[in-house]
Amino acid sequence: MFGIAFIIVGLYSISADFSLVFYPISTVILTTSIWIMVTKKIDPLEKEPPLFTLSAFIWGSFISALLALVLNNAAVDFMKQSGVSAHSIDEILAFYVAPFFEEIAKFTFFIVYFRVLRKQVDGIIDWIFYSFMLGLGFAAIENLSYFTYGCERGKLIEFVILRGGITPFLHPILCLISSFGVFLCLKKPNMKKLHKYGVILLFLFLGIATHSYWNHSSYNGWFSFWVGFIIINTPTIILIILAFSYENIAGRKIFRNNLWELPMEERDYLCSTTKKMLNWTKHLFTFRLIKLFLLTEYHNVASLLAFEREAGFIKAKHIEKDKERTIQLYNLLRRWK
């Protein structure tokens, strides 16, 4: 995909100033690629569907970005026709108009894909992942305009460090805040409809307010910038750590609850292999990676068992007779050896 992007960059460079086209676009592709790979590590226990992951990124980079651009330009034209000064327009756009329209534009993804998200998202880690992919898509297009501006003025490196290195997750974090009310409603299906609307609007307003605060802090010097950076990023880091802890505990609990579905031979093999692996991780730092691998297998096996039991494929008294599925589970567990 990124190879195709570089070909497109090259074709554009033929008919335009090479530096003003190639450098901004290539740096956007490079920085965005790095942070996409980092984001994919957020959920090591479950691989999200590539097509839906791509849909979130494309929605942010094309539909949300285009919608925000159109609405922002319309607001600027309206203020110009109303006789507002250029300086005031810049401040109003940065502090109030852009935060409102940009968060609304990103929020449209969660409205359109609400039914898909309800089936796809099974925990807070999934919600963080899709929010970040959407936000990275939006940030990629916004960074392109900033990098082009910086390239024209000989300050491309400064903009790459600032937006591609220091604040790459600004829009993903804002997207997570704005949409978190939708996640709470998905996890609380019995909540009253009026309460659902209230929760959704509350977090959407919180995301817009946080975006506005960030723009204010960025305009008021480096000290204000770093204060805003810490205030916005710290709660998100804490949330991700807590989410990881919760998901791991919940995943292991699900697995433990489904262990009884395994035949005795596979259960004994699983327990003995797990014990040996975890004992190794206490002594060798390198083998800590095995612990993550084991947790991944925990999740895969537990998901398989939970699905098959819920669908009625497996019953405790019939599992010994189900030779095909017993063999499948045994082969799956043999990969741990």
Question: Does 322 or 126 have the greater pLDDT score?
Answer: 126
**119 pLDDT band (50/70/90 cuts)?**
confident
Question: Does 114 or 314 have the greater pLDDT score?
Answer: 114
pLDDT tens column, 199-227: 999 999 999 999 999 999 988 888 888 99
* For residues 301-320, average pLDDT: 54
* Token pair recorded at residue 231: 């205030």
Of the ranges 119-133, 198-212, 239-253, which is most confident? 198-212
pLDDT at 40: 85
Give the separation between CA 230 and CA 209, rounded to whole angstroms: 16
* For residues 184-205, average pLDDT: 90
pLDDT at 270: 54
pLDDT at 130: 93
**14 pLDDT band (50/70/90 cuts)?**
very low
Going from N- to C-terminal start, the domains of the chain cover 2-219, 255-334
